């Protein structure tokens, strides 16, 4: 009978790797809590309309990558990202009535039907933050600082921050018109996706990864439009103030005029944080401001900014398996005494195991050395004297103490 395997684009997170995932999740709780962010958990499927309206019906995510299914004549979609779901929850649960800023963070699986590659799967996991209610660039600076601090807390220090301003809808329309004008002579040479984007969302032309399109966008006359300061005075002032904050916070950043992000809801500030350890797939964090999304999804007009990070990509960067070891392993040929001592240690708040098959002493010790930090030895003498021998399996130091003492702390 054929073995049933995990589906393409999905992976098991095995016990050997789970320590690393716990580390990423616990670090998120620690760092984001310091900034006042509260965890939120939204459903993994939502109404398809949420993503069409929120993410944008011209994006690759909505057009090509969503897992959508019909149930009871309703169109449902496994979430391809979580900002739209968090915004939906923000609106539905009346969080706009809370004192601003409202800071939320999340972790969990997302689903996109795309070609699996290094650090990217069809079921993948993200950790992210959304901040609602603040239009000033202080929020932008804090969110970027929060993201970099989280990555540094994981031990990732070889980071670079790229920022850009997409402007507001008014100044962005001027830029789109100029971009379409200068690109029109090259329209037939663009990839099919870019030909569609040219009509529906020309800003996303700059997000194309096709080499032939990139050669077109690198032409001097096109670069002159891309590099121009098209944003209005208000957006320019917002961006300059953000740069001031980043300078004062000693955030090493650069301005990337090609940075537009792949989702339609972004405006003004967009940013990416990169690491050079993953080859071409080096972006580990992406985010930006989405001031119109709450209103577009039926809520009150509420400014917002956030970011998301792919946890598989972070795990690939961290690279090393964080081997989990139990705190203690009880070694004894007396199964009854072994299980009693094991429960004592567990009740004291420590992880503990014993040999369920009651193998020979030497076999038990061999196993303990592989899976535990300490061996708790109960021989005939120890049992008779109500004592236990505690052996540090890393240093080989050992001592015999009273059984009723706090030997396991």
For the stretch 354-363, pLDDT in tens is 999 888 888 9
Domain boundary among 318, 338, 354: 318
Specify whether the backbone of 119 is left (phi greater than 0), alpha (psi in -120 to 50) or beta: left
- Contact yes or no for 227/252 (Cβ under 8 A): no
Q: Are 330 and 309 part of one and the same domain?
A: no
- Contact yes or no for 304/132 (Cβ under 8 A): yes
Number of domains within the chain: 2
Q: What is the pTM of this model?
A: 0.84
What is the predicted pLDDT for the residue at 67? 86
Q: Which domain holds residue 363?
A: 326-402
- In a domain, residue 118? The reply is yes
Q: Are 312 and 356 part of one and the same domain?
A: no
- Point out which residues pair with 378 in neighbouring strands: 332
- In a domain, residue 288? The reply is yes
Q: Are 163 and 58 part of one and the same domain?
A: yes
Alpha helices (H) along 35-121: 48-54, 60, 83-92
Q: Give, in degrees to the nearest 5, the angle at Cα 150 between 164 and 351.
A: 160
Q: Are 53 and 132 part of one and the same domain?
A: yes
Q: Are 308 and 332 part of one and the same domain?
A: no
Q: Are 246 and 355 part of one and the same domain?
A: no
- In a domain, residue 84? The reply is yes
Q: Are 282 and 362 part of one and the same domain?
A: no
Query: Which tens digit of pLDDT belongs to each residue from 145-200?
Result: 999 999 999 988 888 899 999 888 888 788 888 878 888 887 788 888 787 777 77
What is the predicted pLDDT for the residue at 78? 94
Q: What is the CATH number of the domain that holds 364?
A: 3.40.50.800
Domain boundary among 291, 318, 345: 318
Query: Which tens digit of pLDDT belongs to each residue from 129-139?
Result: 999 999 999 99
- Point out which residues pair with 164 in neighbouring strands: 270
What is the predicted pLDDT for the residue at 263? 64
- In a domain, residue 206? The reply is no
Single out the residue of 241, 267, 272, 238 nearest to residue 255, CA to CA: 272
Single out the residue of 80, 33, 126 nearest to residue 315, CA to CA: 126
Q: Indicate if the pLDDT at residue 47 is higher than 80.
A: yes
Q: Are 260 and 364 part of one and the same domain?
A: no
Q: Are 162 and 25 part of one and the same domain?
A: yes
DSSP-derived 3-state class of residue 130: strand
**Residue owning tokens 């923000």:** 90
Q: How far apart are CA 217 and CA 357, in angstroms?
A: 68
The DSSP symbol for 6 reads P
Domain boundary among 286, 318, 350: 318
Q: How far apart are CA 404 and CA 299, in angstroms?
A: 61
Specify whether the backbone of 349 is left (phi greater than 0), alpha (psi in -120 to 50) or beta: left
Q: How does residue 279 score in pLDDT terms, banded at 50, 70 and 90?
A: low
Q: How does residue 383 score in pLDDT terms, banded at 50, 70 and 90?
A: very high
Lowest mean pLDDT among 167-171, 236-240, 261-265: 261-265
- In a domain, residue 214? The reply is no
pLDDT: which is higher, 316 or 209: 316
Mean pLDDT of 84-107: 96
Q: Are 85 and 61 part of one and the same domain?
A: yes
């Amino acid at each position: 009978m054929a073995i049933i395997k995990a589906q393409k684009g999905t992976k098991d997170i095995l016990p050997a790797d789970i320590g690393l995932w716990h580390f990423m999740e616990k670090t998120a709780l620690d760092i984001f809590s310091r900034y006042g962010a509260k965890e939120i958990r939204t459903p993994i499927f939502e109404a398809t309309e949420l993503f069409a309206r929120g993410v944008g019906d011209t994006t690759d995510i909505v057009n090509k990558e969503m897992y959508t299914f019909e149930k009871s004549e309703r169109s449902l979609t496994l979430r391809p990202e979580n900002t739209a779901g968090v915004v939906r929850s923000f609106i539905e649960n009346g969080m706009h009535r809370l004192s601003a800023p409202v800071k939320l963070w999340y972790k969990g699986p997302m689903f996109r039907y795309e070609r699996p590659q290094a650090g990217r799967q069809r079921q993948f996991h993200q950790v992210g933050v959304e901040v609602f209610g603040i239009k000033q660039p202080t929020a932008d600076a804090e969110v970027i600082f929060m993201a970099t601090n989280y990555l540094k807390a994981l031990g990732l220090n070889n980071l670079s921050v790229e920022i850009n301003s997409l402007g507001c809808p008014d100044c962005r329309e001027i830029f789109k018109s100029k971009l379409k004008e200068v690109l029109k002579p090259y329209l037939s040479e663009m990839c099919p996706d870019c030909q569609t984007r040219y009509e529906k969302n020309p800003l996303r032309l700059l997000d194309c990864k096709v080499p032939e399109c990139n050669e077109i966008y690198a032409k001097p006359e096109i670069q002159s439009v891309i590099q121009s300061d098209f944003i209005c005075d208000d957006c320019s002032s917002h961006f300059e103030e953000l740069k001031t904050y980043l300078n004062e916070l000693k955030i090493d950043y650069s301005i990337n005029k090609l940075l537009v992000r792949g989702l339609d809801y972004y405006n003004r500030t967009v940013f990416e944080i990169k690491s050079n350890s993953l080859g071409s797939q080096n972006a580990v964090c992406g985010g930006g401001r989405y001031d119109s999304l709450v209103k577009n999804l039926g809520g009150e007009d509420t400014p917002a900014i956030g970011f998301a990070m792919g946890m598989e990509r972070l795990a690939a960067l961290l690279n090393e398996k964080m081997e989990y070891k139990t705190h203690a392993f009880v070694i004894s040929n007396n199964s009854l005494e072994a299980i009693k001592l094991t429960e004592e240690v567990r009740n004291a708040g420590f992880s503990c195991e014993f040999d369920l098959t009651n193998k020979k002493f030497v076999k038990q010790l061999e196993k303990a050395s592989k899976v535990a930090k300490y061996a708790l030895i109960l021989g005939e003498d120890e049992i008779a004297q109500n004592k236990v021998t505690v052996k540090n399996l890393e240093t080989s130091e050992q001592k015999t103490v009273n059984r009723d003492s706090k030997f396991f702390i």
